[in-house]
Amino acid sequence: MAKTAFELIDGGAFHALEASLDGECVRIAPEALAAATGWRLKPEGLCCEAVCVPVRERAALVGAGGVDLAAFAEALGRPLALDVAERTAALGTAVADRAAALASLEAPDFSLPDLEGRRHTLSEHRGKKALLIAYASW
């Protein structure tokens, strides 16, 4: 498998990596994947800081070309949007993390400009009532 440029989007961050492509299978070197996502392949499984996720099918996860991106996402319980033709993939947030955010009833912080171009951040209005109106033309 020849190496090619590949873009991985994780948590809003864009990472330019080298990947090996074989049909719909994308394999990334373990070191490159660890640098991009923080998850390292260890004997006990996939680990990020103090958290380790056991991997049952290690042979399906890692092979000669590197870590299979789809198997990596599945092992972590994260959705993966993959477009091999465009050489791009996006890792979504794990279901457990999304559920915890919804249970907290706290909106994620964001910043938007008003009609005069002044930026407003949601966190500036914590503890106050705020009305957010969203509009889309489609």
Quick: pLDDT tens for 71-93: 999 999 999 999 999 999 999 98
Confidence of residue 70 (pLDDT cuts 50, 70, 90): very high
Do β-strands 3-10 and 88-91 pair in parallel, antiparallel, or remain unpaired? parallel
pLDDT score recorded for residue 98:
81
Residue 8, pLDDT > 90, answer yes
DSSP code, position 49: T
Compute the distance between CA of residue 138 and CA of residue 88 in angstroms, rounded to an integer.
26
pLDDT score recorded for residue 39:
95
Confidence of residue 1 (pLDDT cuts 50, 70, 90): low
Residue 62 pairs with which residues in a beta bridge? 67
Residue 6, pLDDT > 90, answer yes
